[in-house]
Amino acid sequence: MAERYRLRLLAALVVVVSASSGCLALDPRVSLDTADSAVFESASTSGSWAAGQVATNVTFTSNATTSAGVTRLNVIADGQTFDTAVLDSGQSSATILLPTNGTATIVAANTVNGTTVETRNATITGESVV
């Protein structure tokens, strides 16, 4: 009896989380093309599930926030800003939020001189539940 109650509670939780925050993905993974990148070294996730968004740790090249001048990351999904991270000089990594719906564009910007330093596409995969 207790097992049936736990299964119903878990199912209700999945429905509530999915309805309130978008698609639920199990084992989300992020693929970021870093070949020949002046800004990005790697991207990884650590969660086993995500509801509507997945926290992603992005590691920068050694000069991304110094001589390359990156001061902000903008995550663009479906033509709108999904997340923004402000960076300090010398910062080597940051956590950004990516949507669980497939793709996003990460824009590395220099807000001091108003330029885009680099743009990369990220692909988010995982098993969609809802």
Percent of the chain with pLDDT over 90: 63
**In this predicted structure, what is the pLDDT of residue 22?**
57
CB 49 within 8 A of CB 25: yes
The pLDDT tens digits of the residues spanning 58-111 come to: 999 999 999 999 999 999 999 999 999 999 999 999 999 999 878 999 999 999
For residue 21, pLDDT over 80 is answered with no
- What is the pLDDT averaged over residues 27-51? 90
User: Where does the pLDDT of residue 48 fall: very low under 50, low under 70, confident under 90, or very high at 90 and above?
Assistant: confident
For residue 18, pLDDT over 70 is answered with no
**In this predicted structure, what is the pLDDT of residue 97?**
94
How far, CA to CA in Å, does 53 sit from each of 3, 67, 107? Answer: 30, 31, 18
User: Where does the pLDDT of residue 52 fall: very low under 50, low under 70, confident under 90, or very high at 90 and above?
Assistant: confident
Pick the CATH number of 2-128 from 2.60.40.10, 2.40.37.10, 1.10.10.60, 2.40.50.100: 2.60.40.10
Report phi then psi at 92, rounded to 5: -105, -15
Mapped onto helix, strand or coil, the DSSP state of residue 99 is strand
**In this predicted structure, what is the pLDDT of residue 28?**
87
Percent of the chain with pLDDT over 70: 82
